[in-house]
Each structure stands twice: as C-alpha cells, then as structure tokens.
C-alpha cells in the first residue's frame, strides 16, 4: 500500500475533538508508572539483545517510582474518578497528537499482553499481534498527519539513523554506546 494513501485513509477514520479534557493528576501518575515499568522492560530487552549488563540499582529505583506513583490511588476512595467531568481540565496539546500518543501507549499494552500470553502458551496469537501492530501504524499515521510529517521520509531517516549507528552490521557495543548528537542531526535532516 502507498504510505501517503495509508495516512489519508487513517485520517478518514479518526475521531476528532476540539480540546483534550482529562483528569491531569490521574493521567500523570499513570504515565509515570507506565514510563517506569517500560524502562524496566527496556533493561530486560537491552540485556537480552545487546548483552548490556543489568543495572539492579536502576531497576530498583524504577520499581520504587512505580510503586510510589501507584500509591496515589490508595485507598481508591480518596481520589476523584478519572472520568468525572468536574475533575477534568483542558490541557494545551493538540488533541490529534494526544490521541495518537495515548493510542500508541494503549496498543503497546495490548502487545505486552499478547507477549505474556505467548510466553504462557508457547505460541503467539499471530493474527492478534499483527492486528496490534497495525493499530500502532494507524496511530502513527495520525501523528504524522498532525505534525505535517511524511511517512516515507520518517522511515528513510530511521534507516539512516540505524546505518549511522551500525555502519556494517549490528554490534552490542554500537547498540549501547551511541552518538546521540549525530543521530539527532540525521533525524532533523541535517545530515
């Protein structure tokens, strides 16, 4: 499928709102938990695929952060319900970008659930996994359209960044020790 057409078709099926109104405090606590846990999982990925030493101190720090953020919700009766209109606040973010990001986050949790089930059953639900990646692509298309990006250019810059990181082929050293300034310049189209 043509990527420009994909973005056009994705945008056609998008739900739009004029402004984002959420319970900001609840959302920020949950995002902090998500980021902490995601970073913990990233340590496992880097140890597994890059042979990067596992940082127990960092892992424990992230765990403590996640637990502390979750404590906000205990007891459940002391905080306002996240969907209660009287506790919602308008936030200054493009609603389309918010939708794209929050949607990709929620699809990532569905992929995590699919991985967890695949570990239990020794067999991934291929249809479900591919569907979740397709949903992530849909949210990506919304973000690209919102930000005035180009899907093909995004993919080309991603490959250029990876070629700079891995000039010949993948190495654990290059995966761990990165020239982030050079990679940023590539992503900004300056190299």
Over residues 142-155, the pLDDT tens digits come to 999 999 999 999 99
Contact 95, 145 (CB under 8 A): no
What 3-state class would DSSP assign to 45? helix
- For residue 79, the model assigns a pLDDT of 61
- Inter-CA distances, 169 with 156, 172, 187, Å: 17, 10, 20
pLDDT tens for the chain, residues 1 to 191: 899 999 999 999 999 999 999 988 889 999 999 999 999 999 999 999 999 999 999 999 999 999 999 988 876 665 666 667 777 889 999 999 999 999 999 999 999 999 999 999 999 999 999 999 999 999 999 999 999 999 999 999 999 999 999 999 999 999 999 999 999 999 998 87
Counting Cβ atoms within 10 Å, is residue 60 exposed (0-12), middle (13-18) or buried (19+)? exposed
Cα angle 138-160-39, degrees, rounded to a multiple of 5: 60
Q: Is the peptide bond before 75 cis (omega within 30 degrees of 0)?
A: yes
Report the C-alpha gap between 103 and 177 in whole angstroms.
31
Report the C-alpha gap between 139 and 100 in whole angstroms.
5
Q: E strands, the chain, where?
A: 20-22, 89-91
- For residue 82, the model assigns a pLDDT of 65
DSSP state of 148: T
- For residue 77, the model assigns a pLDDT of 61
Domain residue extents for the chain: 22-82
Predicted TM-score (pTM) of this structure:
0.89
Report the C-alpha gap between 187 and 160 in whole angstroms.
8
- For residue 76, the model assigns a pLDDT of 67
Query: At CB < 8 A and 24+ separation, what contacts does 85-88 make?
Result: 85/21, 87/23, 87/26, 88/21, 88/22, 88/23
Report the C-alpha gap between 176 and 179 in whole angstroms.
10
Residue 90 region, left (φ>0) first, then alpha (ψ -120 to 50), else beta?
beta
Across-strand partners of 22? 89
70-92 in b/e burial notation, b at 16+ Cβ within 10 A?
A: eeeeeeeeebeeeeeeebbeeee
- For residue 162, the model assigns a pLDDT of 96
């Amino acid at each position: 499928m043509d990527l420009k057409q994909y973005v056009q078709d994705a945008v056609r099926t998008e739900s739009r709102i004029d402004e984002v109104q959420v319970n900001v405090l609840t959302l920020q606590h949950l995002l902090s938990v998500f980021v902490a846990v995601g970073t913990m999982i990233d340590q496992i990925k880097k140890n597994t695929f890059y042979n990067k030493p596992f940082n127990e101190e960092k892992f424990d720090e992230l765990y403590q952060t996640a637990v502390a953020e979750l404590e906000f919700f205990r007891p459940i009766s002391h905080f306002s319900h996240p969907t209660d209109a009287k506790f919602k606040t308008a936030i200054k973010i493009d609603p389309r970008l918010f939708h794209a990001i929050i949607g990709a986050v929620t699809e990532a949790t569905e992929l995590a659930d699919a991985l967890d089930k695949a570990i239990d059953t020794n067999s991934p639900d291929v249809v479900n996994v591919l569907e979740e990646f397709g949903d992530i692509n849909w949210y990506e298309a919304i973000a690209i359209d919102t930000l005035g990006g180009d899907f093909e250019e995004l993919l080309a810059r991603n490959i250029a960044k990876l070629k700079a990181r891995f000039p010949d082929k993948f190495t654990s050293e290059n995966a761990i020790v990165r020239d982030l300034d050079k990679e940023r310049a590539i992503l900004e189209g300056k190299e």
